[in-house]
Amino acid sequence: MRRGAFPRVVLLALSAFTLQGCAELSYTLRTTLHAIPPAKPPAAAPAVPAAPAVPAAPAVPVAPAVPAVPAKPPAAAPVVKPPVIPVSDKLFSEGMAALQDGGLERALELFSAAWQEKPGHAGVAREFDGALLALKKNGDAAYAQGKWEDAGKRWMGTLRFITHPAANPRGYPFTRSEVQAKVDNLTAALTEKALTEYRRGEVTAAIADWKTILSYDPRHEEAARSLRTASKQLETLKKMPPGR
């Protein structure tokens, strides 16, 4: 049946019935709600008595602050000082260096100084004789080569050190007198040569020979006197005009 086929009267009757049912239901709910007694408020919890107050603990005295102990600086490492070398040993070492460089007379001078600082120095006693023998030998070689000044200086050095306490001349292949004779013969030969040159007017050559004598024997008075005379004469000759 179509919706529009219901009679209008039937629809109105259904609507009225529905409205009446809703009104009755509303009334019933109101009546029921009024019949329910109101809910009682919840019972209050019994009061719990307060716990007695706990007395405060006595104050603990604070210990006074301990001053901080300053840290000690680290201990410095001990200074290691080099061993002290005796003066005599230093002089001896220098003498050995001079000996290796060929400075025989200088080496003997340093050996003598070391001996003076420490008489009986073992190193000096060992090396002194060898240096002295070499010095005299070098003088002989220089003389053979015509090096008069070198020969004279080395023979005079031999005479100077042959009497030193560290020397042992008994073991030498020569004596002090023999060395002195060599010096004297050299001086005599140079003196004769200088006088001959001087007489011939070779003043410059004569002056050179007398200077050679004084180079190894500064105290030779005759050579010094002759040198002064010849030097003055040479200055006079230089002042003279040419041709005279």
Mean pLDDT of 78-96: 91
Q: Are residues 170 and 181 in the same domain?
A: no
Question: Given 174, 195, 221, which residue is the final one in a domain?
Answer: 174
pLDDT-derived band at 168, boundaries 50, 70, 90:
very high
Instruction: List the end-to-end C-alpha distance of the chain, in Å, as a whole number.
Output: 189
Least confident range from 15-24, 194-203, 214-223: namely 15-24
- Rounded to an integer, what distance in angstroms lies between the CA atom of residue 209 and that of residue 212? 5
Q: Are residues 151 and 185 in the same domain?
A: no
Give Dmax over CA atoms of the chain in angstroms. 195
Q: Are residues 157 and 205 in the same domain?
A: no
Mean pLDDT of 25-37: 44
Q: Are residues 237 and 222 in the same domain?
A: yes
Q: Any idea what the CATH number is for the domain that residue 198 is in? A: 1.25.40
The whole-chain average pLDDT of the chain stands at 81
Number of structural domains the chain divides into: 2
Residue 144 belongs to a domain: yes
Q: Are residues 146 and 131 in the same domain?
A: yes
Percent of the chain with pLDDT over 90: 61
Residue 74 belongs to a domain: no
pTM beyond 0.75, yes or no: no
pLDDT-derived band at 203, boundaries 50, 70, 90:
very high
Range of the domain at 220: 176-244
Q: Are residues 230 and 166 in the same domain?
A: no
Q: Are residues 103 and 150 in the same domain?
A: yes
Q: Are residues 106 and 180 in the same domain?
A: no
Q: Are residues 139 and 185 in the same domain?
A: no
Mean pLDDT of 12-21: 44
The pLDDT of residue 220 is 97
Residue 222 pLDDT > 80, yes or no?
A: yes
Residue 167 pLDDT > 80, yes or no?
A: yes
Instruction: Kindly state the tokens that stand for 112.
Output: 């003598």
Question: Given 174, 197, 231, which residue is the final one in a domain?
Answer: 174
Residue 74 pLDDT > 60, yes or no?
A: yes
Q: Are residues 93 and 165 in the same domain?
A: yes
Residue 1 belongs to a domain: no
Residue 31 pLDDT > 70, yes or no?
A: no
Least confident range from 30-34, 161-165, 237-241: namely 30-34
Question: Given 145, 174, 203, which residue is the final one in a domain?
Answer: 174
* 112 CB neighbour count, 10 Å cutoff: 19
- Report angle CA 178, 183, 189 to the nearest 5 degrees: 125
Residue 39 belongs to a domain: no
CB 105 within 8 A of CB 154: yes
